[in-house]
Structure 1
């Protein structure tokens, strides 16, 4: 059985991420594990924990036990295990190590931590986890309730790596019974580049339709692929945007260049980042 890992620092974003991870665990039939990383043995009171603001709690373990008590009724995986781990050390390194040694299929985490919104995503532990994790990472913003996945946006650009996310998107769409929007994005009028993107889009459509997944295709030109994709996601009210963590360094580089970091930082829509 797969396992989903949720880093929890008791911030609003991390609790939102936990709720979203419970939904994904139910759909994927996955074990669910929370992890908290302490920088030292000393216990520091969480920055934000509205759910248990009236509770008297003295340890991280007690916080986790209360979280499991609160959220277990919503975790409905038959023979699934909903548990937690506490680690000490560098936050992003310990999260990555827990995912690796715990054989996690997916990490779901808040885009911001307990330090609040004054810390840009580009410098946060979340960005480091996305950058170095060997499994996909879903980053969730603390804006609105991300309660289901019915519409997934999968942008396709001209890089060879862009297609590597297709199997992950297919599995998620199949289990969530979601439709997938394949959006070809380009910044050029070069016919060979556009033709390459259209070819990749057709391959993606064929792969998805083999799994009986509803597909909608579109292609758009814009000044910046990232902005084009994000604008389209808002138009269709997407529940998730699937991107590659790394792309080839070309003029058609789409995600995790400087513009992509801004998109992940600003997007109110959860971002599904697949490692290259």
Structure 2
């Protein structure tokens, strides 16, 4: 890991993300690209403002953002970390991909409130739009990293063939940042339900094709539930996980993965960092 992108909107949540990014940067000797998106209102072609007025206003707000941005980056935890501040126009999700590609970034770390549950945490927010469009992994942080130590990560996967490239990329990253990676298969009711023999055979076949061995078989765990999100959260709480990792189908978003409602109890406890990988 060499380059980490952190979107900054001056909120506490973006500071939580910046703090986590600094921890990862120190561990991997990586640099941070801190990006603030300055969205200026577009002046209509026949509005009252002249082009000169618009340019003057744009320059004013850019300079104001630069001052605030520089103050925001004065954090003790950034000492010894290479941080490059970048100010761009428009919305976060529309330009992060370009910045990530130009700089060959390895990871995006961003903050999100996620106050109304796992599904609402992703759907309809800038966070969900970044996850949906990002070609690189996105780590979503919800709380201040008081003791950031990834000892146990739960990676939810259905072990289907189209997961293979993403599985290899994901496990490579997860192995580098976590002490233990547990692979989780959620068995759901309906046409996709499998008995024990079918699940185990499918997992063995997947691991053999993906890695050429069954070394990770001991790290595979199974849970049955009525929905994927309930099963993942239930298992993550059961093993006291530090983070949840999942794969997304890109532009179709995560809504298809996180369907149905979650009980109030699980919603209140859904405070895990979430790391998403795009299926390739």
What is the CA-CA distance between 1:120 and the residue it aligns to?
A: 5.6
Deviations 1:28-77 (A, max 9, x none): 32111100001113649xxxxxxxxxxxxx8222233233331455545x
What is the CA-CA distance between 1:104 and the residue it aligns to?
A: 1.2
Comparing 142-151 and 181-190, the one that deviates more: 142-151
Deviations 1:79-104 (A, max 9, x none): xx211100011331022222222221
Alignment of 1:12-27 (within 5 A): 12-27=12-27
Aligned partners of 1:129 and 1:12: how far apart in 2? 19
Q: Does 1:234 align with 2:237?
A: yes
Q: Does 1:60 align with 2:65?
A: yes
| Residue of structure 1 in register with 2:256 after alignment | 257
CA, structure 1 residues 206+233, in 2 after alignment: closer, same or farther (shift >3 Å)?
A: farther
The secondary structure found in structure 1 opposite 2:258 is helix
**1:112–1:124: 8 Å Cα contact kept in structure 2?**
no
CA, structure 1 residues 152+177, in 2 after alignment: closer, same or farther (shift >3 Å)?
A: closer
Q: What TM-score, normalized by structure 1, do the two folds share? A: 0.74
Please tell me the root mean square deviation across aligned C-alpha atoms, in Å: 3.6
What is the CA-CA distance between 1:225 and the residue it aligns to?
A: 2.3
Max radius of gyration: which structure? 2
Q: How many residues align?
A: 248
Deviations 1:86-131 (A, max 9, x none): 0011331022222222221110111249xx9798641111111100
**1:243–1:255: 8 Å Cα contact kept in structure 2?**
no
**2:7–2:109: 8 Å Cα contact kept in structure 1?**
yes
Alignment of 1:56-135 (within 5 A): 59-71=64-76, 73-76=78-81, 81-112=82-113, 121-135=122-136
**1:20–1:148: 8 Å Cα contact kept in structure 2?**
no
Q: Does 1:31 align with 2:67?
A: no
Q: Does 1:200 align with 2:203?
A: no
**2:7–2:92: 8 Å Cα contact kept in structure 1?**
no
CA, structure 1 residues 107+62, in 2 after alignment: closer, same or farther (shift >3 Å)?
A: same
Q: What TM-score, normalized by structure 2, do the two folds share? A: 0.73
Q: Identify unmatched segments of 5+ residues in structure 2.
A: 41-57
The secondary structure found in structure 1 opposite 2:232 is helix
CA, structure 1 residues 146+72, in 2 after alignment: closer, same or farther (shift >3 Å)?
A: closer
The secondary structure found in structure 2 opposite 1:69 is coil
What is the CA-CA distance between 1:198 and the residue it aligns to?
A: 4.5
The secondary structure found in structure 2 opposite 1:237 is coil
**2:138–2:277: 8 Å Cα contact kept in structure 1?**
yes
Aligned partners of 2:18 and 2:235: how far apart in 1? 27
**2:204–2:214: 8 Å Cα contact kept in structure 1?**
no
Q: Identify unmatched segments of 5+ residues in structure 1.
A: 45-57
